[in-house]
């Protein structure tokens, strides 16, 4: 942890038990851009939408013929969770704001279950499917709220990660709106002189390219001119040749919501060259 307000994320999160890849397992039988490919078996409905640190490094490459899968816990009122693929536990004790390391998995359609830590699949708070293609990186971001206290249902968002080299002195920054009670927001820097994100709504993502530098990132109420009220700000440094995901998570009004997790920007470094 740093001395800053933000919680930078180490992809090898110390509190997370990674139980191994599924390299030997198979199954019979995805400005705003993102790919979601989740089937909710509990409700029988299928959703496919196209919306589009302590720091760590990743090469941005995959073993030939395999995909890579990471899980991010961004549900502010959820407990620690375990994650299962095809009935096999692959992550244990994932805490709020943790982002796991990438796991190499063969291309397939996997049954995904997320449970409170230590509970069985019968007690899953989510069950669905995720499609993994060869040589593609994915992050399954657990968003929403568990239980009846919140109004945003707990439902993962499946993101296809562009971990290619952004080149030179530039960094690539993807922002994910994961705050259940926040309206659409703009993200700016340098007192509004730099616009990183324009009009991002809950469960949407946006990607921008930034020059290597330190920035004061401002989260603003969405306006046409990107000059709305600043509701949150913090200092973030982006390095050239690196790929980041910034999760806007937590509650803007925690006193009115089912946990005390305040609004925050969680920064994960996905790849570095």
Name residue 114's beta-bridge partners: 83, 126
The answer to whether residue 127 is domain-embedded is: yes
Q: Which tokens in the block code for residue 68?
A: 């890579």
What are the tokens at 158?
A: 């499946």
How much is the pLDDT for 16?
A: 52
Residue with tokens 């929403």: 144
| 2 domain residue, yes or no | no
CB 85 within 8 A of CB 153: no
- Answer yes or no: is 3 within a domain: no
Assess if residue 131 is contained within a domain: yes
Flag whether 64 is in a domain.
yes
Q: What was the pLDDT predicted at 272?
A: 96
Q: In what side-by-side order are the strands of the sheet with 8-9?
A: 8-9, 264-272, 242-249, 170-177, 205-211
Reduce the DSSP state of residue 122 to 3 states and report it: helix
Predicted model pTM: 0.81
Q: Note whether residue 44 is domain-resident.
A: yes
Q: How far apart are CA 189 and CA 175, in angstroms?
A: 14
Q: How many CB atoms lie within 10 A of CB 183?
A: 14
Q: pLDDT tens, position by position, for the chain (273 residues)? A: 333 333 344 443 444 554 544 443 433 333 333 333 333 323 222 333 323 333 333 444 444 699 999 999 999 999 999 999 999 999 999 999 999 999 999 999 999 999 999 999 999 999 999 999 999 999 999 999 998 878 899 999 999 999 999 998 999 999 999 999 999 999 999 899 999 999 999 999 999 999 999 999 999 999 999 999 999 999 999 999 999 999 999 999 988 777 889 999 999 999 999
Structure tokens at 131: 């499609």
Number of domains in the chain: 1
Structural domain containing residue 186 = 8-272
Q: What is the DSSP string of 156-174?
A: EEEEEE--S---TTEEEEE
Answer whether residue 149 is part of any domain.
yes
Q: Looking at the domain assignment, is residue 1 inside a domain?
A: no
- Tell me how far apart the alpha carbons of residues 50 and 250 are, in angstroms, rounded to a whole number: 24
């Amino acid at each position: 942890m740093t001395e800053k307000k933000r919680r930078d994320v180490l992809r090898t999160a110390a509190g997370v038990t990674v139980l191994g890849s599924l390299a030997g397992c198979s199954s019979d039988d995805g400005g705003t851009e993102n790919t979601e490919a989740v089937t909710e078996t509990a409700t029988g409905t299928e959703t496919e939408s196209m919306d589009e640190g302590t720091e760590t490094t990743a090469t941005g490459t995959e073993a030939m013929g395999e995909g890579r899968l990471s899980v991010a816990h961004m549900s502010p009122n959820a407990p620690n969770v375990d994650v299962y693929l095809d009935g096999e536990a692959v992550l244990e004790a994932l805490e709020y704001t943790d982002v796991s390391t990438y796991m190499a998995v063969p291309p397939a359609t996997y049954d995904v279950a997320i449970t409170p830590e230590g509970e069985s699949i019968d007690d899953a708070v989510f069950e669905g499917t995720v499609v993994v293609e060869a040589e593609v990186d994915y992050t399954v971001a657990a968003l929403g709220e568990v239980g009846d206290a919140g109004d945003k249902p707990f439902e993962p968002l499946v993101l296809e990660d562009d971990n290619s080299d952004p080149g030179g002195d530039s960094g690539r920054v993807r922002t994910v709106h994961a705050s259940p009670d926040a309206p659409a927001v703009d993200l700016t820097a340098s007192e509004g002189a730099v616009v990183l994100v324009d009009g991002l709504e809950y469960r949407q993502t946006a990607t921008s390219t930034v020059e290597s530098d330190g920035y004061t990132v401002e989260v603003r109420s969405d306006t046409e001119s990107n000059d709305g009220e600043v509701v949150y700000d913090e200092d973030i440094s982006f390095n050239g040749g690196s790929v980041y995901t910034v999760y806007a998570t937590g509650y803007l009004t925690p006193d009115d919501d089912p946990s005390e997790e305040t609004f925050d920007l969680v920064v994960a470094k996905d790849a570095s060259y």
